[in-house]
């Protein structure tokens, strides 16, 4: 089997030779599946406001129980799996482009965040993670107690 490009692994797409426009997928292309030890990679958007870093990823078709979000002060790791809801014969497909299986993505953050205050929500298949920035300039004044 030919090694897939980064983009093909990222999107779950298959390479079709020729520029003659859309064609019916050949049986060889229909059964294109990542090896068991290879994971897909989520596409993400990451941006900032003055107070927080926001990360979004499309996770449509993923059950909340199958989604794992881990946050440290400088990294976010997303893991999960998308399971096919039906089984169809390979000969019944015209196109088979969706990615099914395990995925993961680790994102190194541009600034330290408060992992304890991070929030994650999912609405209509869109995962949004809000990560409050740590204020490095903030100074905490401690009161000294007499023992």
List the helix and strand counts (H, then E) for the chain. 2, 7
User: What's the pLDDT tens digit per position in 96-135?
Assistant: 888 888 999 999 999 999 999 999 999 999 999 999 999 8
User: What's the pLDDT tens digit per position in 61-107?
Assistant: 899 999 999 999 999 999 999 888 888 888 888 888 888 889 999 99
Q: Is residue 32 part of a domain?
A: yes
Whole domain around residue 94: which residue ranges? 6-15+25-132
Please state the separation of Cα 87 from the chain's center in Å: 24
Q: Is residue 138 part of a domain?
A: no
Q: Is residue 89 part of a domain?
A: yes
CATH (domain of 103): 2.60.40.790
Strand-pairing partners, residue 105, are: 78
Q: Is residue 45 part of a domain?
A: yes
From residue 106, alpha-carbon distances to 25, 87, 96 in Å are 33, 31, 27
Query: Whole-model pTM?
Result: 0.68
Distance CA 25, CA 9 (A): 18
Q: Is residue 146 part of a domain?
A: no
Q: Is residue 37 part of a domain?
A: yes
CB atoms within 10 A of CB 120: 16
Q: Is residue 105 part of a domain?
A: yes
How many structural domains are present in the chain? 1
């Amino acid at each position: 089997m030919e090694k897939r490009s980064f983009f093909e692994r990222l999107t779950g797409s298959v390479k079709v030779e020729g520029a003659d426009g859309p064609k019916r997928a050949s049986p060889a292309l229909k059964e294109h599946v990542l090896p068991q030890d290879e994971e897909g990679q989520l596409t993400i958007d990451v941006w900032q406001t003055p107070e927080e870093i926001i990360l979004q990823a499309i996770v449509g078709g993923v059950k909340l129980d199958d989604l794992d979000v881990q946050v440290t002060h400088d990294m976010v790791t997303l893991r999960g799996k998308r399971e096919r809801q039906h089984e169809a014969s390979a000969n019944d497909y015209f196109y088979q482009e969706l990615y099914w299986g395990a995925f993961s993505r680790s994102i190194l953050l541009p600034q330290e965040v408060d992992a304890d205050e991070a929030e994650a929500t999912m609405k209509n298949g869109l995962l949004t993670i809000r990560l409050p920035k740590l204020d490095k300039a903030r100074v905490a004044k401690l009161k000294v107690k007499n023992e």
